Amino acid sequence: MAQSVTEWVKVTDDISIISRQSGEVWFHTSDSTKEIADPFAVPMTGVGSAGSTVGLLDGAINLGFVAIEKRLARPEPTVAAYIVALVGAYHTSVDTPRNLRRAASRFSELGRPEVAAYLEERAREETGHDRLALKDVRALGVPGERLVANYIPEGIKPLCKRFDDLCAEEYPIGSIGYSYCLERIAALKQEADIARVRTLCPEGVDATRFLRSHSSLGSEASHVAETIEFVATLPASDRTKVVQETYESSLLLAEGYNHELLKSEAELLEEIRKAIGEALPYGRGSAPSNIEEHVARPVA
Ligand SMILES: [Fe+2]
Ligand SMILES: [Fe+2]
C-alpha cells in the first residue's frame, strides 16, 4: 500500500504547519527548552499531495488571520464601504496579468516551463477583472475611472506592493502563495453574501459583477482547486516557499482588510469625496442593519 503523504512547513521562528494527505492539520510549536531536536524545523524534502498541500495552504491563511482575531472589526455594511472594497478589488486586479506574465517569463528563463505555463494561464484567466470592479463602481453612480485614478485605500497599498515585488523576484515562486491567499478568501463568499450586497444597492442596480466572479459561484473556486493541484506537484523547496508566502500574504491581507473595516462611514465618504471632488449620492445609514460582518469584507 502506498504510504500516506505528510508535509510540513515552518512559517515562523517557532511554528510549523503539519498536514497529512488525509486532511488532518496541526500547528506545531517548537519548544526550545526541550533537548530533543525539533523534526519539523528541518525543511521537508518529500513529494506533495493535493490533500496535504491544501492543509498547509489553508493552515497558513488561518494562522495569518489569528494575528488580528482580537482586533477584528465588525462594521455595519454600507454602500460607501462596498465602493471602497471595489476600489481595493480594482487595484489588486489591475496589474495582475502583467505581473503574472513577468513571473512566467522569469520561469521560462530558469528552464521551468511548467511553472511558466501555469502562470501564463492564470494571467489569461485574470485579464479584465479590474474592469468588472470598475463597472460595478460605475453602476453605483460613481465616476469609477476618476475614483480609482485618485484613490488607493491605505490598507490595500501594502498588498499591491507585495505582489509587484514578488513577481519581480529572481525566483518568483512566492507569487503563487500571494494569489492563492487572495483567491481562497474570495472563494469563501457564498450566494447569500452576494444577495445581501444586492440589498445594499439601489433598486434595479447590479453592482456585483466582481463579487460574483470572485466567489464560490464564479471562477475563483476553480482557480483555487487548480492552484492546489499544481502546487502539490512542485518540488518540496517550492511548496515550502509557496506556503511561507501564503502565510506572509495572509498577515498583510488580514491587517489591510481590518484597517479598512475599522474606518467609520464618515471617513470612507470623505475619502471618496476627496478622490472624485464631489459628495457621493448616498447618505449615511443607507444600509440595512442585519447584514453579517463578513459581507462587508473587501470583495477580493
Ligand atoms: Fe480575479
Ligand atoms: Fe482568480
Q: What is the whole-number distance in angstroms between the Cα of residue 105 and the centre of ligand 2?
A: 20
DSSP letter string, 153-213 = -TTTHHHHHHHHHHHTSSSTTHHHHHHHHHHHHHTT--HHHHHHHHHHSPTT----HHHHH
In order of 21, 31, 35, 39, 272, the CA distances from 43 in angstroms are 18, 17, 19, 9, 47
The yes-or-no verdict on residue 67 having pLDDT over 70 is: yes
> Are the CB atoms for 86 and 136 separated by under 8 Å?
yes
Q: What is the whole-number distance in angstroms between the Cα of residue 93 and the centre of ligand 1?
A: 6
Q: What is the whole-number distance in angstroms between the Cα of residue 25 and the centre of ligand 1?
A: 28
Q: What share of the chain has pLDDT > 90, as a percent? A: 80
The confidence score (pLDDT) of residue 283 equals: 59
Using pLDDT thresholds of 50, 70 and 90, give the confidence band for residue 76: confident
> Are the CB atoms for 227 and 176 separated by under 8 Å?
yes
The yes-or-no verdict on residue 200 having pLDDT over 70 is: yes
DSSP structural state of residue 299: -
With CA atoms as reference, report the closest residue to 275 among 154, 155, 146, 86: 146
Least confident of 50-59, 89-98, 115-124, 190-199: 190-199
Residue 47 corresponds to which cell in the numbers above? 513529494
Q: At what angle do helices 50-66 and 174-186 cross, to 10 degrees?
A: 80
Using pLDDT thresholds of 50, 70 and 90, give the confidence band for residue 300: low
Q: What is the whole-number distance in angstroms between the Cα of residue 219 and the centre of ligand 1?
A: 8
The yes-or-no verdict on residue 150 having pLDDT over 90 is: yes
The confidence score (pLDDT) of residue 71 equals: 85
Q: Residues whose CB is under 5 A from ligand 2 (ion)?
A: 183, 223
> Are the CB atoms for 249 and 182 separated by under 8 Å?
yes
Q: What is the whole-number distance in angstroms between the Cα of residue 142 and the centre of ligand 2?
A: 25
Q: What is the whole-number distance in angstroms between the Cα of residue 126 and the centre of ligand 2?
A: 6
Q: What is the whole-number distance in angstroms between the Cα of residue 224 and the centre of ligand 2?
A: 8
> Are the CB atoms for 23 and 16 separated by under 8 Å?
no
Tell me the ligand closest to 132's alpha carbon: 1
What is the distance between the terminal CA atoms of the chain, rounded to a whole angstrom? 42
Tell me the ligand closest to 300's alpha carbon: 1
Average confidence (pLDDT) over 121-144: 97
| Alpha-carbon gap, residue 76 to 80, rounded angstroms | 11
Average confidence (pLDDT) over 128-139: 97
The confidence score (pLDDT) of residue 49 equals: 97
DSSP structural state of residue 141: T
Q: What is the whole-number distance in angstroms between the Cα of residue 225 and the centre of ligand 2?
A: 11
Average confidence (pLDDT) over 101-114: 98
The confidence score (pLDDT) of residue 73 equals: 82
Question: pLDDT, tens digit, for every residue of 229-278?
Answer: 999 999 999 999 999 999 999 999 999 999 999 999 999 999 999 999 99
The yes-or-no verdict on residue 289 having pLDDT over 60 is: no
Using pLDDT thresholds of 50, 70 and 90, give the confidence band for residue 287: very low
| Alpha-carbon gap, residue 106 to 172, rounded angstroms | 8
* Residue 77 CA from chain centroid, whole number: 20
Q: Which amino acid is at 70?
A: K
The confidence score (pLDDT) of residue 95 equals: 97
DSSP structural state of residue 92: H
Per the listing, cell 469625496 goes with 273
The yes-or-no verdict on residue 123 having pLDDT over 90 is: yes
pTM: 0.92
Phi, psi values for residue 29, rounded to 5°: -105, 125
The confidence score (pLDDT) of residue 228 equals: 98
Q: What is the whole-number distance in angstroms between the Cα of residue 89 and the centre of ligand 2?
A: 11
Q: What is the whole-number distance in angstroms between the Cα of residue 36 and the centre of ligand 2?
A: 43
Q: What is the mean pLDDT of the chain?
A: 91
| Alpha-carbon gap, residue 154 to 298, rounded angstroms | 13
Q: What is the whole-number distance in angstroms between the Cα of residue 92 and the centre of ligand 1?
A: 9
The confidence score (pLDDT) of residue 2 equals: 65
